[in-house]
A and B are shown apart, each in its own frame.
Chain A
């Protein structure tokens, strides 16, 4: 995706065919710079329903509710949360959601736009403190800082009943389906939004994750190339036919009016729930490791992993990340 993309003068009419929350990541100064292609992948808590019903617990809707659920689960011998932080990006999802719930979407926007001091926002410090609170409460399974998602280990902890929940992108539904089909088809896999944080200013309906993939037109394209591209956007990417094909390929499209299309799909109930939440989300932030410049992404992930391991303080993390800008 090219950031020096071509701006349509005023936003084209077909742009309103897309769900508004999916365009936030490519809208700058009110102008649209990219067009969504392929499906959306928001992040949710995926949990083991039988464990929760056995303990008579409803899935928590507040952060303090999450902490007390963690304590209850631990006392019954479960690892409350399965975390594959060996890959480092799963931990980032916690930071994204907590920051949004505490300080609203503007915090992430400042970071993505590279504003000086953006990382020292109090919402970030509070979010990281909350993360460390979870780690200190023993919420994550032992070995969480070396377990990788790619081996299926963190999924195995949930479907085998050793861990109660995992914060993961919606690809986890297909991943679990491949690893343990009956766990998903029997409806034992629950899907829940990230809890709200008491005293926070963020909307609990906000989402985080991979909003979509995007295509953009290079500013070096000729007029003929530009018109072909725009025709492609209007006639294909924004069209109901594309939505139908996307659903058939197992994706959740970001085109309006796709609600009826999921019936008959194997994961229809999950896809429908995901689509509805994207439809009604006031804001949908793009995964930070994709949204920030690459030079920043690698140290961000490595340092955040240290925060999770309790070997770095939130303040040190913020200071290191902010100094990346002044040094660059």
Chain B
């Protein structure tokens, strides 16, 4: 409890307090009252950052959850070749985020990159894009790369979740004449409820604060189309030397993140810790 207080509660309170001051990081903070919050409310760039962040959160969940679930359920099967696939899918987890960002940046270079070379050898013209410089597609490229990085992790979660489901539930359902589709919707999915909540919370809260790939690959560009709120906060604090305004963004991120996490737990009944194994023993 003490660790939680020191590392979580105290900094959040500190950020909330700092948001009422204006401070350039070196001198003494000056009282600013609600000025930073008013600036946040009126700033069109802050609205843009919120929209971009919301898109990243929603699309990350929409892309990562079905694919992770499919991969996880596939690798949970007992055939031997499936564990070979599992070993391959884990590869992105072994790479550092910075390494992933730099590697993909080199691959996607429209002049020298591997994707461009592939487009020439396979004669696929649509692969020759300015992947990181076209305002309409760059955000989705970033979302795709984040998905590439984290799907293996969530696939592991679903794999473990699937393996924990007692076989008797499936036997009983098959005896009742259930089809494979019904087995999925009526047995697998409900039993995976807590895994889905865990994975979803991680995806949503993680993509809300995600920073690394965006900072390294696009730095918010082209224009402001990939400028997520965490990047906005970083630039406000360390490039524009406005720590008070950056604290406003930090508080917003913190409150939204905690709110979503609490909401997901409440909504799914995760908090009640009810057993899912009733009738299985």
Interface, chain A (partner B; CB < 8 A): 86-88, 141-148, 151, 153, 156-157, 162, 294-295, 297-299, 302, 305-306, 309, 311-312
List of B residues within 8 angstroms of A143 by Cβ: 109-111, 130, 132-133
Separation of A153 and B116 alpha carbons in the complex (Å):
14
> Which 8 A/B pairs are nearest by Cβ-Cβ distance?
A146-B133, A143-B110, A146-B132, A145-B133, A295-B240, A143-B130, A306-B223, A294-B241
Closest-CB distance, A269 to chain B (whole angstroms): 29
Bound complex: CA A297 to CA B239 (Å): 8
Given contacts A143-B130, A151-B105, contact A309 B111 (CB under 8 A): no
Complex interface residues of chain B between 199 and 233 (CB less than 8 A to chain A) = 218-224
For the complex, give the distance between the alpha carbons of A63 and B218 in Å. 31
B235 contacts the other chain (CB 8 A)? yes
A309 & B240 in contact (Cβ 8 Å cutoff): no
Give A189 Cβ to nearest chain B Cβ, in Å: 19
Size of interface on B: residues with Cβ below 8 Å to A: 26
Residue-wise interface mask of B (89-112) relative to A, using a CB-CB cutoff of 8 A (1 in contact, 0 not): 000000000000010011001111
> Which chain A residue has the least Cβ–Cβ distance from B128?
A142
Interface residues of chain B: helix, strand, loop or mixed (majority): loop
Interface string of B44-84 (1 = CB under 8 A from A): 01000000000000000000000000000000000000000
Min CB–CB distance B230 → chain A (angstroms): 15
Q: Is there contact, CB below 8 Å, between B111 and A311?
A: no
Among A143, A162, A298, A305, residue most surrounded by chain B Cβ atoms (within 10 Å): A143
Could you tell me the distance between the alpha carbons of A188 and B45 in the complex, rounded to whole angstroms? 45
Query: CA separation between A252 and B147, bound complex, in Å?
Result: 47
> In the assembled complex, which residues on chain B have CB atoms less than 8 Å from the CB atom of A297?
239-240
Q: Quick one: which of B102, B109, B239 contacts A147, CB cutoff 8 A? A: B109
Write the nearest CB–CB distance from A147 to chain B, whole angstroms. 7
In the assembled complex, B158 has its CB within 8 A of some CB on chain A: no
B21 within 8 A of A: no
Q: Which residues of chain B are within 8 angstroms of A88 by Cβ–Cβ distance?
A: 219, 221
Report the bound CA distance from A311 to B111 in whole Å: 22
Indicate whether A294 sits within 8 Å of B239 (C-beta atoms), given known contacts A146-B130, A151-B106: yes
Cβ–Cβ contact A86 & B133, under 8 A: yes
Residues of A within 8 A of B219 (CB): 86-88
Question: Taking CB as reference atom, which chain B residue is nearest A156?
Answer: B112
Q: How far is the CA of A188 from the CA of B259 in the complex (A)?
A: 61
Which of B111, B220, B222, B242 is within 8 Å of A295, CB to CB? B242
**B196 vs chain A, min Cβ distance (A):** 36
Among B132, B222, B224, max chain A CB count under 10 A is at: B222
A306 to B240, CA, bound (A): 19
Cα(A322)–Cα(B135), bound, Å = 25
Closest to A154 in B: B111
Contacts of A145 in B (CB 8 A): 130, 133, 221-222
Sample of 26 A–B contacts (CB below 8 Å): A87-B219, A141-B111, A142-B110, A143-B110, A143-B111, A143-B132, A146-B131, A146-B133, A146-B218, A146-B221, A146-B222, A147-B109, A151-B102, A151-B109, A153-B111, A156-B112, A157-B111, A299-B45, A305-B221, A305-B222, A305-B223, A306-B222, A306-B223, A309-B133, A309-B222, A312-B223
Residues of chain A with a CB closer than 8 A to B111's CB: 141-143, 147, 153, 157, 162
- Extra inter-chain contacts (17) besides given A145-B133, A312-B223, CB under 8 Å: A86-B132, A86-B221, A88-B219, A88-B221, A143-B130, A143-B133, A145-B222, A146-B110, A146-B221, A148-B105, A151-B106, A162-B111, A294-B240, A294-B241, A297-B240, A302-B220, A309-B222
Return the chain A residue nearest B26 by Cβ.
A2
CA of A309 to CA of B133, assembled, Å? 9
> Are A302 and B221 interface neighbours, CB within 8 A?
yes
A153-B221 in contact (CB<8A) = no
**Residues in A neighbouring B218, C-beta threshold 8 A:** 86, 146
User: Nearest chain A CB to B40's CB is how many angstroms away?
Assistant: 13
* Docked complex Cα distance between A302 and B112 (Å): 25
Known: A143-B133, A146-B222, A309-B222. A298 touches B109 (CB 8 A): no
